[in-house]
Amino acid sequence: MTLLALAVLPGMLLLMGVPIFAVLIAATLGGILLSINPVQAIHSAMFGSLDIFPLLAVPLFIYAGDIMSRGGIARRLIDLILSMIGAVRGALGIATIAACEVFSVMSGSSVACVAAIGKTMIPALQKNGYGTVFSVSLVTATGVVDVITPPSITMIIYGIVAQQSVPQLFLAGFPAGILIGVALAIYVVWYARVKKIPVTAPAERRGVRAAAKDAIWSIFAPVVIFGGIYGGLFTPTEAAGVACIYAIVISVFVHREMTWRELWAITIDSAALSAQILIIVSAAGAFAWLITTSGYPQQLVGFVDSLQLRPWMLLLLINFILLFVGSILEPPAAILMLTPLLTPVAYAAGVDPIHFGIIVTVNLAIGMFMPPFGLNLFAAHALFKTPLPDLYRGVMPFLFIYLAMLMLITYVPAITLAPLALFK
């Protein structure tokens, strides 16, 4: 009966359009009522899931990312990239991918990446001959790199739930993000050659120098964040706080592109987004507690063992599950629901927990633009008025590229784990 509350009830409520936090609370309450656990336990589980110091990094990185993206810091880095790339067929497409990679270091929101980069790059891509559908599809698909590249909110939440090192997850995430970016760039160059996209003007030393001078404070932003973490100066949570202070100082006092009134508006927006994430974290914490105490993870491990699946077959099955769930739920919600169930199975099969965290993250990132329900598809449709059927067709080549890179990341652990040896 408890299994019905943990599996059937959430599925029915999700199909009815009930908000995810309400689904999790209802499932937890139903499971408690059908078990011997006292109802009061739900309060302790919900508040206990928020009483975690590393979780402070989530709202702080969201706040820092909003300030950097709207205070001129991210824009200056993008301008620097555009000034450096030229005289190559497909240069503007490569610049779009690079801009998304850079923006991902500033922001924790994939949708924000699609909006910010799309508004800047799509008109230029269209003017250069890429076509509307390809341009929007490129930004829609590349925007999910924001989920993979540190500081990733998804990685932070996985680290907390799975009790793994967030700095190590960040280190492992860099090669995954770079690998995907390189694969996308190769495809864009091939597409530009096939479609005979005009070659852009060559980069001029004077323009690069001017853009670099203007972006000097922006360049220091990731240096401060990651240099502090891996230099042992502060934890990821403290780095998030430092990033907020740095972003405010640079945006308000150095660039002077943000007023205190605008900063207050950004604060309100970031607080609202943080509240949406944290209420899901709280509800999912209670749901995860009930799953753990019910003994179902151990039963699932035993069932998987009885199937005698080889590790590669198990990972393939997990990838299918994560892709399906990731196409319906946002990454934080999917992480919180599935991690308590899937991590024991993966660990029992001998999968490294850090490597598994990257596998989970990449899967859920792909789900964000996978037809028909990927969140980025609906965001791009609303922002750029591109019909959804056209978007579905447009993102398919990028989806195949991501899936190929997912297989590579899944079955070649050295790709993600190699950087960890540098900081042992």
Name which of 60-74, 106-120, 287-301 the model is least confident about: 287-301
pLDDT at 264: 93
pLDDT at 5: 59
Residue of 223, 236, 117 whose CA lies nearest to 170:
236
Cα radius of gyration rounded to whole Å, the chain: 22
pLDDT band (50, 70, 90) for residue 302: low
Average pLDDT in the chain: 81
pLDDT at 109: 65
Check residues 341 and 317 and name the one with the higher pLDDT.
Answer: 317
The burial of 39, by beta-carbon neighbours within 10 Å (0-12 exposed, 13-18 middle, 19 or more buried), is given as exposed
Residue 83: C-alpha distances to residues 91, 200, 205, 332 (Å)? 11, 11, 9, 35
Q: Which of 194-208, 210-224, 378-392, 397-411 reaches the highest mean pLDDT?
A: 397-411
pLDDT at 81: 74
pLDDT at 406: 95
pLDDT at 353: 92
pLDDT band (50, 70, 90) for residue 409: very high
pLDDT at 410: 94
Q: Is the pLDDT of residue 2 over 60?
A: no
Q: What pTM was estimated for this model as a whole?
A: 0.79
Give the Cα separation of 99 and 93 in Å (integer): 10
For residue 399, count other CB atoms closer than 10 A to its CB.
17
Q: 181 near 97, Cβ under 8 Å?
A: yes
pLDDT band (50, 70, 90) for residue 203: low
Q: Is the pLDDT of residue 60 over 70?
A: yes
pLDDT band (50, 70, 90) for residue 424: low
pLDDT at 300: 61
Give the Cα separation of 93 and 204 in Å (integer): 19
Write out pLDDT tens, residues 262-298: 999 989 988 887 787 778 778 777 777 777 676 665 6
Report angle CA 149, 155, 156 to the nearest 5 degrees: 120
Give the Cα separation of 199 and 222 in Å (integer): 31
Please confirm whether the linkage preceding 59 is cis (ω < 30° from 0). no
Q: Is the pLDDT of residue 407 over 70?
A: yes
pLDDT band (50, 70, 90) for residue 95: confident
User: Percent of the chain at pLDDT above 90?
Assistant: 18
DSSP 321-372: HHHHHHTTS-HHHHHHHHHHHHHHHHHHTT--HHHHHHHHHHHHHHHTTSTT
pLDDT at 113: 75
User: Percent of the chain at pLDDT above 70?
Assistant: 87
- The sign of the dihedral angle between the CA atoms of 278, 280, 286, 287 is negative
The dihedral formed by the CA atoms of 194, 195, 198 and 203, expressed in degrees to the nearest 10: -50
Backbone region of residue 88 per phi and psi (left: phi > 0; alpha: psi in -120 to 50; beta: other values): beta
pLDDT at 298: 61
pLDDT at 45: 75
At residue 256, the 3 state secondary structure works out as coil
Q: Which of 109-113, 133-137, 338-342 reaches the highest mean pLDDT?
A: 133-137
Write out pLDDT tens, residues 216-240: 888 888 788 777 777 778 877 888 8
